[in-house]
Amino acid sequence: MTTRRERSKPQKTLEEKLSDKSGGQDPKVNLRKEKLANYLIDVSKYVLTGVVITSLFNDVTDKTVIYLIGLSIVCLTLWSGIILTNKRKGS
């Protein structure tokens, strides 16, 4: 006795998936915004790791300036990435 295979639904293309979420905007713009947001969040993590944590292990003369600049870059890029990923209706 053989079983009958169910036909699977065809997968949506990337453009169809993006057009469902876009709310009337160009799907390529939304994809670029999402990629840029992910990039900015990654930059935030790398700066935190590279600048702030590395200065803890090295003998740096002026740590406060490095901490202030590093943390301000981290906050700015993280905030920008989060703003770009904000998915409110109508925007």
Q: Is residue 80 part of a domain?
A: yes
Query: Which amino acid is it at 6?
Result: E
Q: Is residue 35 part of a domain?
A: yes
Q: Is residue 9 part of a domain?
A: no
What average pLDDT score do residues 31-38 get?
87
Whether pTM exceeds 0.75: no
Q: How many domains does the chain have?
A: 1
48: containing domain? 26-85
- Percentages helix, strand, coil for the chain, rounded to the nearest 5? 70, 0, 30
What average pLDDT score do residues 56-81 get?
84
Q: Is residue 34 part of a domain?
A: yes
Q: Is residue 76 part of a domain?
A: yes
Read off the pLDDT band of 14 (50, 70, 90). low
Neighbouring C-alpha atoms within 13 Å toward the C-beta of 84: 19
Q: Is residue 57 part of a domain?
A: yes
- Which pLDDT tens digit goes with each residue over 69-90? 888 999 999 999 888 887 665 5
Strongest mean pLDDT among 21-25, 58-62, 67-71: 67-71
Q: Is residue 44 part of a domain?
A: yes
What is the radius of gyration, based on Cα positions, of the chain? Answer: 22
The Cα–Cα gap between 61 and 55 comes to: 10
Note the pLDDT of residue 3: 54
